[in-house]
Chain A
Amino acid sequence: MSALTGQIGEVQMTIQITRKETGKVEEFKLIGFLDEEKLKELQNGSNTFSSSAECSNPSRN
């Protein structure tokens, strides 16, 4: 039996956190998939829709 799969939704955001203790600003680009199973596939490298990271922090790379 064929499995019919709709395309998954997505939320993208860029956030900044200013640390109270140090004043340092950290920026994060987050990509969140609405389908958690697809996100898990993305994390273990088996996702076929996209190979991009779901979460990155330019200030830490």
Chain B
Amino acid sequence: MAVTHSVAARNAATQAVINLIGASGNLVFRITGSTVISPSAAAATLPLSSPTAFGAPSSGTSTANAITSDTNAAGNASAVAFATIETSGGTVVIQCAVAASGSDINMTGGLTVASGDTVSCSSLTYTALSA
């Protein structure tokens, strides 16, 4: 049996998590093997807006404010496997797996970032509880 939350509860949950990011933070794309405790190598690091990384939640979803591009990405031969949203001090607050083979729309070779590439993020939303 699935649990359903009120909109107020979903907003509160999302707000509680984005509060952990603090006044500044980063969106980081990482290769396979990443954990919240021990993040893997970063292929690209994009600074979130400071001092307000995310807007107030609506219907349980919060949208990130403007995100600065990484104009000289570290890159990695391995495909990006995780995205993390972290504090400015590098503490991972949110981690999600973002790419893999076998999906409905398969990305041949996966999403790779080469050294020196520019990585931008034009939209980012976070939902703590989907219902």
Interface residues of A (CB under 8 A from B): 2-21, 28, 30-34, 36, 39, 42-45, 49, 51-57, 60-61
Contacts and interface: CB of A to CB of B under 8 A. Distances in A.
B66 to A, nearest CB: 13
Give the bracket for the number of chain B residues in contact with chain A: 35 or more
B99 A7 contact: no
A43 B118 contact: no
B125 A11 contact: yes
Given A8-B130, A32-B96, A19 B83 contact: no
A11 B103 contact: no
A11 B3 contact: no
Interface in B97-131: 97-105, 107-108, 111, 113-131
Contacts of B96: 10-11, 32-34, 39
